Amino acid sequence: MTAEADDGTLWAISDLHVRYAENRAVVESLRPRSPRDWLLVAGDVGDTVADVEWTMGLLARRFARVVWAPGNHELWTPPSDPVPLRGVARYQHLVALCRRLGVLTPEDPYPVWRGAGGPALVAPLFLLYDYSWRPAGLDSREAALAEAYRTGVVCTDEFMLHPEPYADRAQWCAARVEETARRLDQRDPALPTVLVNHFPLVREPTAILRYPIFAQWCGTDATAEWHLRFDATVMVYGHLHIPRTTWHDGVRFEEVSVGYPREWRRRPNPPGRLRQILPVPEEPPAGPKGVFRF
């Protein structure tokens, strides 16, 4: 066996959106290469609790370890979901569900990947966004939201991601950022980190969005230095539905989303390709300005 097969591989994927039958089939096709493989799931598994339970249960039975960071879709409260929980209560319900399935969450001790390319501390994060990623000229959250409504580019979170008991999502984000930074400051400084969050920690990946106004639902300025502050060897995220590799301050950022069928049908490669996080993969052909496209 190769060293990679002996030690296992750390893989990642996100934005599975299993309410679509085609995406559910993608999930059913996911399998490890080695009994020691781990899988990082960077959010947007599904819109209902039942979808999350089905997906995470299947993956937990196949991979040696599954680590989950929630996306915005898991936190929605769709009218059709028999589980009507909202806000923090919904998040806590999903954490308890994942723990029953043996899946690690942002509320659990951070595990250490000791396979090929390790050791590295794997930190799943739940941070949300605070509307600070606004287009130039829009100097307040209110102005950015007003422009979004004027142009019709409004995230569904505004209607289905409820922040209770916080006054709004920005306050919830601030609380999550503060608590998560405290925990990361207590990590073993000898270990590099793999930071896993549904949203990118830096704003630069949003520069290629078709609708720049949407960036306000994609992260927070508060994490702009976290990849350096917390010694990240790689940062894993999703949400943008633009799978690619970029580099920021010498740190590798991996966008690992599957996305909606209407998006991945246009791509040359089939969906459901797990992205190798560790060991560091060989570089694929470079796209424009050093961006690796998949």
Residue 113 forms part of a structural domain? yes
Question: What is the per-residue pLDDT for 286?
Answer: 39
Question: What is the per-residue pLDDT for 288?
Answer: 33
Give, in degrees to the nearest 5, the angle at Cα 232 between 226 and 238.
75
The CATH number that applies at residue 273 is: 3.60.21.10
What residue has token string 């370890």? 65
Question: What is the per-residue pLDDT for 5?
Answer: 42
- Which residues make beta-bridge pairs with 40? 12, 67
Q: Is the pLDDT of residue 152 over 90?
A: yes
**For 68-92, what is the mean pLDDT?**
98
Residue 21 forms part of a structural domain? yes
Question: What is the per-residue pLDDT for 1?
Answer: 32
In which domain, by residue range, is 270 found? 10-278
The alpha carbon torsion through 293, 46, 19, 87 (nearest 10 deg) reads -130
Average pLDDT of the chain is 93
Residue 195 forms part of a structural domain? yes
Sheet holding 112-113, edge to edge: 112-113, 120-124, 193-196, 232-237, 251-255, 244-248, 292-293
Residue 115: band (very low, low, confident or very high) from pLDDT cuts 50, 70, 90: very high
Residue type at position 283 = E
- Which residues make beta-bridge pairs with 278? 10
What residue has token string 């050093």? 290
Residue 291: band (very low, low, confident or very high) from pLDDT cuts 50, 70, 90: very low
Q: pLDDT tens-digit profile of 36-62?
A: 999 999 999 999 999 999 999 999 999
Q: Are 230 and 193 in contact (CB under 8 A)?
A: yes
Q: Are 12 and 238 in contact (CB under 8 A)?
A: no
Task: Spell out the residues 6+ positions from residue 204 whose beta carbon is closer than 8 angstroms to its own.
Answer: 246, 248
Residue 51 forms part of a structural domain? yes
Residue 256 forms part of a structural domain? yes
Per-position DSSP letters for 220-259, written without gaps between them: -GGGTTHHHHTTEEEEEE-SSS--EEEEETTEEEEE-B--
Residue 73 forms part of a structural domain? yes
Question: What is the per-residue pLDDT for 268?
Answer: 78
Per-position DSSP letters for 154-197, written without gaps between them: --THHHHB--TTSSSHHHHHHHHHHHHHHHHHTS-TTS-EEEE-
Question: What is the per-residue pLDDT for 280?
Answer: 94
What residue has token string 């390790």? 118
**For 170-187, what is the mean pLDDT?**
98
Q: Is the pLDDT of residue 204 over 70?
A: yes
Q: Which of 2-6, 73-77, 231-235 has the weakest average pLDDT?
A: 2-6
**For 168-186, what is the mean pLDDT?**
98
Q: pLDDT tens-digit profile of 259-285?
A: 999 988 888 777 778 999 999 988 653
**For 108-134, what is the mean pLDDT?**
97
Residue 90 forms part of a structural domain? yes
Domain count for the chain, please give it.
1
Phi, psi of 38 (to 5 degrees): -110, 155
**For 187-193, what is the mean pLDDT?**
97
Task: Spell out the residues 6+ positions from residue 226 whose beta carbon is closer than 8 angstroms to its own.
Answer: 181, 184, 195, 201, 232
Residue 237: band (very low, low, confident or very high) from pLDDT cuts 50, 70, 90: very high
Q: Which residues of 217-238 are buried (b: 16+ CB within 10 A; e: fewer)?
A: bbbbebbbebbeebbbbbbbbb
Give, in degrees to the nearest 5, the angle at Cα 272 between 269 and 276.
90
Q: What percent of the chain has pLDDT over 90?
A: 89
Residue 3: band (very low, low, confident or very high) from pLDDT cuts 50, 70, 90: very low
